[in-house]
Amino acid sequence: MMDAVVFDTLLLALEDWAVPLPGSGPILVLNAEPGPWLMQLPKDQLVCRTSFKPSHDALKAAGLSVLAVDSVNLPDAMLTIVVPPRQRDQARALYARALLAAPEGGYVLASLPNNLGGKTGEKQLAEIAGEAASLSKHKCRAFWTYKVDAVVNHPLAEEWIEQDAIREIEPGLFSRPGLFSWDRVDPGSELLADSVPEQTKGIGADLGGGYGFLSREILTNCPKVERMDLYEAEYRAIACIHETLAPFEGRFTAHWADVLTSLPKSAYDFIVMNPPFHTGRTDNSALGRSFIRAAAQALKPGGTLWLVANRHLPYEAQLAACFKQSEMLEDEAGYKIIRAERPKRQK
């Protein structure tokens, strides 16, 4: 999630009328994040789109208009606000989609911290739009352009959109920019996959399934596993999961879901996970601890959790609170592999 000062800076561009706020018609917000900043804009004009399930649910709960996650066509909007994702190719594609969808004279506005690419974002937007302007405040940069179709670099914009597409990053493994460790297998996940024994059996879940690497390894090497259910909050990963796990049709399901709210109770014989410990750009080890609590509730009484985490992350106390037994199996290259068994039932 972006810091509040990023949105404060973005709103300055509107308050100063450097970017005009439309008096009617939709105000489109791409990669939308919920928060007080949105409530400072005309609620009845806002149309949001996000591929991140917790944000999607929070925006709908706030009563905002939210586009279907798989929507292709964007509404004509004289103002499109882009909340830039962290990964370069994904961000450039989002600028390109916003600009190409905008009507003639429509504005595209974004903001980033200076130390996380504010100047670069402005330069990228100018590359496809012809020019861009900006203001700086709170160590952040708001930047914008308005569409003049005759000067839009359409071939470059289309190239950036294409660079955001699903691709095969190694034989049989499909990913796309912006996903966790999107262009290479994460060493921690690889270590975890090697630690799950071949005799593992039953129905398993992969929490934060990404593009399907862990589940692929388990379905390949553990013949007694009946099915893997993958839960992933980022919708952009779901199509990658289906491509990666296509050879295992009938032995997996993929769910666009918030792990913290959507898991069935006492359903799984085992769970594997490499839990996230960032919220956007901010470290948040509490998120990993929440994953552990959710896993304990989703496991059967005799179930097992297999977990990989960076060595420094403080998960042991949470594991002790949620499981009757836990053991660190590996401590290698900055990662720890932990097996926890027999979840405690929370009163």
Domains of the chain, residue spans: 4-162, 167-343
List residues bridging with 230 in a β-sheet: 206, 254
Cβ contacts of residue 336 below 8 Å, gap of 6+? 308, 309, 310, 311, 328, 330
pLDDT for 77: 98
- What percent of the chain has a predicted confidence (pLDDT) above 90? 92
Which tens digits make up the pLDDT trace of 85-120? 999 999 999 999 999 999 999 999 999 999 999 999
The rounded distance, in Å, linking the Cα atoms of 237 and 329 is 29
CATH class, range 167-343: alpha beta
- By the 8 A CB rule, do 239 and 166 touch? yes
- The mean predicted confidence, pLDDT, of the chain is 95
If you average pLDDT over residues 206-231, what whole number do you get? 98
List residues bridging with 47 in a β-sheet: 28, 65
Q: Is 328 exposed, middle or buried (0-12, 13-18, 19+ CB in 10 A)?
A: middle
Identical fold, 4-162 and 167-343: yes
**Percentages helix, strand, coil for the chain, rounded to the nearest 5?**
35, 30, 35
Using only C-alpha atoms, the chain has a radius of gyration, in whole angstroms, of 22
pLDDT for 282: 52
CATH number (3.40.50.150, 3.30.460.80, 3.90.1150.10, 3.40.50.1820) of 4-162 reads: 3.40.50.150
- By the 8 A CB rule, do 323 and 298 touch? no
Q: For residue 200, what are the CA distances in angstroms to 150, 218, 226, 303? A: 60, 9, 10, 11
Angle between helices 187-195 and 213-221 (to 10 degrees): 20
139 pLDDT above the threshold of 90 = yes
pLDDT for 283: 55
Token representation of residue 94: 């989002």
The rounded distance, in Å, linking the Cα atoms of 89 and 131 is 20
Binned at pLDDT 50, 70 and 90, residue 345 comes out as: confident
204 pLDDT above the threshold of 80 = yes
List residues bridging with 337 in a β-sheet: 308, 330
pLDDT for 1: 78
The rounded distance, in Å, linking the Cα atoms of 109 and 95 is 9
- By the 8 A CB rule, do 232 and 257 touch? yes
347 pLDDT above the threshold of 70 = no
pTM: 0.94
pLDDT for 142: 97
Structure letter (DSSP) for residue 75: P
If you average pLDDT over residues 213-233, what whole number do you get? 98
If you average pLDDT over residues 33-54, what whole number do you get? 97
Alpha helices per DSSP H over the chain:
4-15, 53-61, 88-101, 118-129, 154-162, 187-195, 213-221, 238-244, 259-262, 285-298, 316-322
The rounded distance, in Å, linking the Cα atoms of 134 and 227 is 51
User: Strand, coil or helix: what is 210?
Assistant: coil
Q: For residue 133, what are the CA distances in angstroms to 118, 146, 165, 287, 322? A: 12, 9, 29, 37, 52
Which tens digits make up the pLDDT trace of 249-297? 999 999 999 999 999 999 999 999 999 865 545 556 889 999 999 999 9
